[in-house]
Every structure is written in structure tokens, then in C-alpha cells.
Structure 1
């Protein structure tokens, strides 16, 4: 049961990363690469990616 929850969480996190990446690219196209709008979304994307990497490391250590 735990493994299914882990997989569902990982899939949800992957979807969030894809959506945030698209949002960042949209902001970059609209406001430019160095705009505050783009950089804020980029930082949010970084947090999601770091969260995903931390989970991967944790699962490998199990």
C-alpha cells in the first residue's frame, strides 16, 4: 500500500514540475528571461525539482 502512495505522489510531483516548467516558459516569453515574474516561477520550479530529488535519494536508501 505504501508503494502505491509513493508512486502516486511521484506522479503528482512530476505533473506539478511539468506544469511549473510550462508556466516559467510562458512567463519568459511574455516578460523576458530576467524578469521578476519569470525568476519567481523559476525558483518555485527549483523547489519542486529539489523535492523530487530528495525523494529519489530517500527511496534509494530504503
Structure 2
């Protein structure tokens, strides 16, 4: 990705797919790494997906 493209729509789509599947789309042990030249964008991805995974884990536990 580059230019005006961002990964945020991809992250939001992953979350939507997981919510639609009642938490069965992403594996329970799902881990991710963010590689970005944009520190703010990278942090936004880490926070959004990380917080979603924390909430999902706490609601299943």
C-alpha cells in the first residue's frame, strides 16, 4: 500500500467479518504485526485491532 491507501479499511473489514461470524472468523490465537512508515497510522491499526481482540477475548472468557 502507499500513497493515499491505508490499511484501516482492511482492519475494519476483518473486525466486521469476525463480528458477523460471532468471533469465529479470526482464530482465538490471532496475532498481528504492523509494519508502517507512518507511526500515527501504525498506532491507529495497533489500537483498533488490539482493543477489538481484547474485548473479544474478555467476552468469550
* TM-score, normalising length: structure 2: 0.45
Task: Give the number of the structure whose alpha-carbon radius of gyration is greater.
Answer: 1
TM-score for both structures, normalised by structure 1: 0.44
